[in-house]
Amino acid sequence: MALTIWRWFVAAAAGCAAIWFGLAAKAQGKPAPAASSDYGSGFKANAYYASLATIRQSTDRLRLLTIRDSLLAIANRRPAPGLTVLLSDEFGSAGSQLDSLLRNRYAQNVGSSNTRVIVAAVMDSAQFERGLSRPRPGWLLPITVFAPQAGDSVCVSILRIGLPLSSGPSFITRNLLSRETVGSMVSACSYYAAFGPPGPDVARWLRDRGWRLGQIADWKERPEPLQRRPVGQLPLYARFAGGFDDDSWRVRSLVPTTGVTCLAGRPGKCAEAALNGRAMTSDSAWRSGVVALNGTNQLRFYLPGEIGSLGPSEGWVLSEMMRTLGPEKFAQFWRSTEPVDRAFANASGRSIDEWIGDWARGVYGPMETGPGLPVSGVITGLLFLAAGFGLSAAIANRRRVA
């Protein structure tokens, strides 16, 4: 039977109809699973841990406030403007080294100031507070900064350990005395001491990002670019990248996509990386006056948390702003009542997008993005193209048509 156009059309229509109705007809499969009988126990589990987490957070904060008040009482015995360093005996010989590092760093950053700054390192081993359990700090070197409030000019920075330093692994002392830990201990207070409270938009910008961009303060020396440091000398937070021969891919494993587009010079991306992003909106009352930071610790190395848009060195951004702009321009930016990008542009004469881009490329190196060919690839391709044309033309010229 010949396949005429009509027969073909009918067969195609019949086939489509069969497929359509075959898909539309739903077979009677397994009945829907019954509601989980563990729903009740699951809710109870969450209720237990959720309540416990809230209690432990509150007891930990109560403990922090108690420590803060104790430190203030000790410092008030001989009140004096400027820096006061208080260290527990449990830090042993490392305590005197830490004291020296803190004083040097603060002197380099601030010099003299009327703001009272108390920087303390204490052992906090209590596991219960008013009969309720609380987390012990362990070896993560948490740093809590109580910023000066209205009518108050005291900034208190507290680093805690949960056990005597002598009972910890040997690398804890190295972490404690690292440039990053020392910088974190004095960071927030240095800014308050030197420039006073920040303008509302700058304060919100820092607060909503948990001070990620102002974690470390070292206003005299620039941190060495990451790509030029041997792996063994990298800060712990930058040492986890590996497995690539090409440096650009190593940077891609350190810096998220937004930061990579900034490194590639895409307009507006650097400002987006610095100013936008997920903001912390919960717990605003506590965070309005308290900054939670961390010193160098192994957890940030082996299990890094959320990586910021500007990579592992983003904690240096604010410090580098201060170092490159100078105290007067930075103070103008810091105290401005305008939005952050406008405040920065007015103070520095450059857009924040441009400045962040230059800073990021200085730390991580430039980056190329997109599917473009390198110049050598284009030239090679053109040469082959020309050679191909030439060869085919030569063959065609020798052809004779009988």
Partner 1 sequence: MFEIPRAFVVVAFVASTALPAVGAAQTVAEYTRRVDSLGAAWRAAALQPPPLASEAPRVGTLSDTVREGNFVVLVDSGLADLARRAAAIANPKLDRAYGASAARLRTRTFVLRRKTGADTTQIVSGIQGTGGVLRFASAEVREPRALANSWIIKAEELITQSLEPSFREWLGAPIQSEQQTERIIANGKVHLVLAGSSAASDCANGKLQRCAQALGVVTVTDPIKTLYDEAEQRALLERYAFMLKKMDEPKYGRCINQNRQATCDSLLRTIPVEGIPTSVPPVVRQNFVHYALFVGGEGAFDRLANATGTVSDRIATAARVPTDSVIRGWYETLMHSPSSSTAINMTTVLSSIFWAMLCGALALRSSRWR
Binding site for partner 1 (CB under 8 A): 40-41, 43-45, 47-48, 50-51, 54-55, 57-59, 61-62, 65-66, 69, 129-132, 146, 149, 166-171, 230-233, 242, 244-245, 250, 283-286, 288-290
Which of 31, 40 has the CB closer to partner 1? 40
Return the number of other C-beta atoms located less than 10 Å from residue 237's C-beta. Answer: 21
Q: What is the C-alpha to C-alpha distance for residues 232 and 364, in angstroms, rounded to an integer?
A: 17
Smallest gap, in angstroms, from Cβ of residue 149 to partner 1? Answer: 7
* CA neighbor of 259 nearest in space, from 314, 217, 212, 339: 314
Strands, DSSP E only, in 216-349? 290-294
Which of 140, 331 has the CB closer to partner 1? 140
Smallest gap, in angstroms, from Cβ of residue 92 to partner 1? Answer: 12
Which of 94, 194 has the CB closer to partner 1? 94
Between strands 82-87 and 116-123, the pairing is parallel
Smallest gap, in angstroms, from Cβ of residue 247 to partner 1? Answer: 9
Q: What is the C-alpha to C-alpha distance for residues 49 and 55, in angstroms, rounded to an integer?
A: 10
Could you tell me the sign of the dihedral formed by the alpha carbons of 329, 331, 336, 340, in that order?
positive
Smallest gap, in angstroms, from Cβ of residue 52 to partner 1? Answer: 8
Q: What is the C-alpha to C-alpha distance for residues 360 and 310, in angstroms, rounded to an integer?
A: 7
Q: What is the C-alpha to C-alpha distance for residues 243 and 249, in angstroms, rounded to an integer?
A: 9
Smallest gap, in angstroms, from Cβ of residue 349 to partner 1? Answer: 37
Within 212-297, where are the H helices? 247-254, 257-263, 269-275, 284-287
Query: Are the C-beta atoms of 124 and 160 separated by less than 8 Å?
Result: yes
Strands, DSSP E only, in 39-95? 82-87
Enumerate residues 6+ apart whose C-beta is below 8 A from 101. Answer: 177, 182
Which of 16, 65 has the CB closer to partner 1? 65
Smallest gap, in angstroms, from Cβ of residue 378 to partner 1? Answer: 27
Smallest gap, in angstroms, from Cβ of residue 306 to partner 1? Answer: 23
Which of 47, 386 has the CB closer to partner 1? 47
Between strands 142-146 and 290-294, the pairing is antiparallel
Smallest gap, in angstroms, from Cβ of residue 231 to partner 1? Answer: 6
Q: In the beta sheet, which residues pair with residue 159?
A: 121, 143
Which of 204, 329 has the CB closer to partner 1? 204
Which of 144, 336 has the CB closer to partner 1? 144
Smallest gap, in angstroms, from Cβ of residue 230 to partner 1? Answer: 5
Which of 249, 389 has the CB closer to partner 1? 249
Which of 167, 276 has the CB closer to partner 1? 167
| Paired tokens of 163 | 């056990």
Query: Are the C-beta atoms of 102 and 143 separated by less than 8 Å?
Result: no
